[in-house]
Amino acid sequence: MTTLFTQHRPVTLARRGIVAAPHYLAAEAGLEMLKAGGNAIDAAIATSAMLQVVYPFVCGLGGDTFMLIYDARSGSLHGLNGSGRSAQTATIERYHELGYTTMPQFGVHSVTVPGCASGWGAAAQRFGRLDFAQTLAPAISYAEEGFAVGPGLHNALNIVSKRPGTHRSWHTHFLPETTVPEVGSVMRFPTLARTLRTIAKEGIDTFYTGSIAEQIATFFAKEGGLITREDLASHRSDWVTPLSVPFGDLQIYEMPPNTQGVTALQMLGILDRLPLGADPLATATIHPAVEAKKLAFEDRAAYLTDPAHMHISPEALIAPDYLTQRSKLVDLTRAQVSVAPGGFMGDTVYMCTADREGNVVSLIQSNYQGFGSGVVVDDTGIVLQNRGAYFSLDPNATNALAPAKRTLHTLIPSMAFRNGRPAMVFGTMGGDGQAQTHLQVYTATARFGLNIQQAIEMPRWVHGASDDGEETLLVENRIPGETLNELRQLGHVIQEGNAWLTTMGYAQGIIFDPINGVMHGGSDPRAEGIAAGW
């Protein structure tokens, strides 16, 4: 594969544990937990918390989280849905009364109940070894004492500070000096540190029924939002059964709805039934993959939402006969027009952890779009997600707004098994592009033998709607020109971007050697992360 593109970073090789995250301080915080006697679950929580300090433009306590957790002792895989629901008074009629004809993208009415803290609590209670005073300590320390602003945070602050309508609470929290801090300057979040200290001292319940819940509910009441104390108190994370399909010699697992995990599995299942080219960047590999994406996204638009509101079993969408039927719709000679092209937007963080006992965590969390709603709960540092913007105010839409409903989520952690044991853990940020990156990276590793760092660094594509709404195949310009010309001849509308597009997401992954137990970690150079090994 060196003839197609240069590998820029080496694979991280370790025997005792790996933490792969999109920021180096977060990966180091997780590794610190492993060295202190914690397990992969403790490391994941510490990493997640640190990302909320150093990468607050993509995740926070006001957002959601999903996890796949492999428990080595029982040899079982568990799914944890840590996503929140809409307010109990959030009806389409109420939003019309508020003056909306479509869901607002930002502000207090785009917010759903934050699920992140509940997810931490459920995972720690069932599988963790360390208490929150220990796992949250690194994040608290950096929030109090300060950290150096990186280019990702600087750019995000610059963009949102200029966006019309950004809530005054955001400016108060992030820009107390009124100017965007330069790269390398020191930033502190004392109110977030205080909130994390309260969680460490009082436990997760304080976020939903205690003092922090009181601050959140009071803030919403003052700002005219719909979320109440009752909405917070009624929130629970749910343990769910992951879904899977075979792909090559792997069995790949994803989260069930309300995530788009089924969409990723459909794409993998369809592509596994089709002939591929000589390498992962060949036209004969990319074209059927894009066509598989189109078919899967049609089903996503038609069927996926909160499972309590679905009219079809998600298992039916990945049944072997159905996948075979869908694969026959792929035309290998031309690009077809799709019904639901999706979009390129989405800000999320993904991390994965593994320890020497064999426990593995695949964790993803998000504010949705950048700093989410652009609203921060006063005096708490809690950046509120705008995941509610994904709902529709069309009562006939599958993902129509309804009271206490979970919206469709783009967040999808994954894990692959071989012979009943974890072979690879992987995920990425990137909104609608997440499932497409899963398809590309699993294809590169399982079908073409790339190592995890090569597969993550490989030039990517994402199919969706451009800014003008045209259905477009956005590509990094490192994809061979011959391939791009052939794709155009097949009818694809190509939009060439830079060599390393953040739009393609920040991916992390670990491959496990079943022979000697060595872990192979990879981290995306599109972000500021590392795969830290021990």
Tens of pLDDT, residues 339-371? 544 343 445 789 999 999 999 999 999 888 879
φ/ψ (deg, to 5) at 459: -60, 135
In the chain, which stretches have pLDDT less than 70?
1-3, 338-347, 467
pTM: 0.94
Catalytic residue among 47, 348, 445, 472: 348
Tens of pLDDT, residues 366-376? 888 879 999 99
Tens of pLDDT, residues 253-288? 999 998 889 999 999 999 999 999 999 999 999 999
How far from 370 is each of 56, 148, 163, 186, 276, CA to CA, in Å? 9, 20, 12, 21, 36
Q: Which of 448, 442, 489 is nearest to 283 (CA)?
A: 489
Give start and end residues of each alpha helix (H) in 6-100.
24-35, 40-54, 92-97
φ/ψ (deg, to 5) at 6: -90, 135
Does residue 483 have an active-site annotation?
no
CA separation for the pair 484, 481 (Å, rounded):
5
Specify the residue for token string 């991390």.
Answer: 351
